[in-house]
Chain A
Amino acid sequence: DAGITQSPRYKITETGRQVTLMCHQTWSHSYMFWYRQDLGHGLRLIYYSAAADITDKGEVPDGYVVSRSKTENFPLTLESATRSQTSVYFCASSESGISQPQHFGDGTRLSIL
């Protein structure tokens, strides 16, 4: 089935560790996005990618690294996790950026102790 898959669904790690969240989509959408969702906030855009090897910062990029070597995958890496990065992370995709609604994955709940 076509869709967008995030893994893992839940992750607990410690401060200072590196952690990578995976995102895979089967629609062949050009654009992919990473958001974080925190209590008391709406979703905030971390990074987005317009195509393979093309990425750009969103509103809250500090502390995160992304890559997109293949169109279908868009991993998000926290190189040295901090407690403030405890959040629910959503990956999304669309064919034409934010000019149309995005399709979202089920999210990864990340806890940093």
Chain B
Amino acid sequence: ELKVEQNPLFLSMQEGKNYTIYCNYSTTSDRLYWYRQDPGKSLESLFVLLSNGAVKQEGRLMASLDTKARLSTLHITAAVHDLSATYFCAVVRIRASLGMNRDDKIIFGKGTRLHILP
């Protein structure tokens, strides 16, 4: 069974600091997504990680994937208040050769609520 554990669940930090959010999963996966959600809003896709060693960066956010350790990280560099949001990882397992079937799974972490203090 595919399980996803994300931590920390809540993080309050000062502007200018660095921090990392962790996403562990229990079985092999085919890809991993990171999403951002602002309060009362929808989820916005940030990164897609497809293979071992993948690293993606956008501004002050950098995501990486270690499939051997079954771990993805989202690193925040020199945080700014605008990055305050909830961040979710989603682990995907694909079994269908074409399209999608019920053996395919997408499991979201519980989310990390990030609060950056000015």
Contacts and interface: CB of A to CB of B under 8 A. Distances in A.
Interface of A: 31, 40-45, 48, 50, 56-59, 90, 92, 96-107
Nearest to B96: A97
A56 B88 contact: no
Contacts, number: 64
Nearest to B41: A106
B45 interface: yes
Interchain residue pairs A-B with the least CB separation, the first 5: A42-B108, A97-B100, A101-B45, A104-B42, A43-B108
Given A99-B31, A99-B92, A101-B33, A50 B100 contact: yes
**Count class of interface residues, chain B:** 20 to 34
B99 interface: yes
A90 B88 contact: no
Interface centre among A31, A58, A101, A104 (most CB of B within 10 A): A101
